[in-house]
């Protein structure tokens, strides 16, 4: 649905911190499914952990948040989307976060987020991350869209 070029038109993140490769499903104002291909060539694996590479949980949560940012911006009106070029999404809270299985190089990390609440510029999202259908992480994310 959205490739990395389209995602870069929405999110300000760039290598090595753009953590969404493709959006595969999007229901504006409701839900999004996106993924990231985890590669051994990513800089984080130099130190996490040498000889036993594990993708950091905080990066999984950040990837979920970035997918949520795409959902929020794509759910906006055309006028709001144009103004979005001067906006950024900030975390307000991360609640009920759990890491269930390690993510390793070669995995396709799928982000599934659903809107729990949306009021004004504040979004509350239920986020889950999967690898091959197995739940690897989950969290409730609260974020606010603000001026840069």
pTM: 0.95
Distance between CA atoms of residues 129 and 146, nearest Å: 26
Contact 68, 61 (CB under 8 A): no
Stretches where the chain sits below pLDDT 70 are: none
Q: What integer pLDDT is reported at residue 119 of this predicted model?
A: 94
88 forms beta bridges with 146
Active-site amino acid positions: 48
Architecture field, domain 4-147: Roll (3.10)
Q: Domain extents for the chain? A: 4-147
Q: What integer pLDDT is reported at residue 51 of this predicted model?
A: 95
């Amino acid at each position: 649905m959205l490739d990395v070029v389209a995602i870069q038109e929405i999110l300000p993140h760039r290598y090595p911190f753009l953590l969404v490769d493709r959006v595969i499903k999007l229901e504006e104002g409701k839900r999004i499914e996106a993924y990231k291909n985890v590669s051994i060539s990513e800089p984080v694996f130099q130190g996490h952990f040498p000889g036993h590479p594990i993708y950091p949980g905080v990066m999984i949560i950040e990837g979920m948040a970035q997918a949520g940012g795409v959902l929020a911006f794509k759910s906006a009106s055309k006028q709001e989307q144009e103004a979005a070029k001067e906006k950024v999404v900030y975390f307000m809270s991360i609640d009920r976060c759990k890491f269930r299985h390690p993510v390793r190089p070669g995995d396709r990390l799928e982000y599934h987020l659903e809107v729990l609440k949306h009021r004004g510029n504040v979004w509350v999202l239920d986020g889950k991350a999967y690898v091959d259908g197995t739940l690897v992480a989950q969290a409730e994310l609260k974020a606010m869209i603000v001026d840069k």
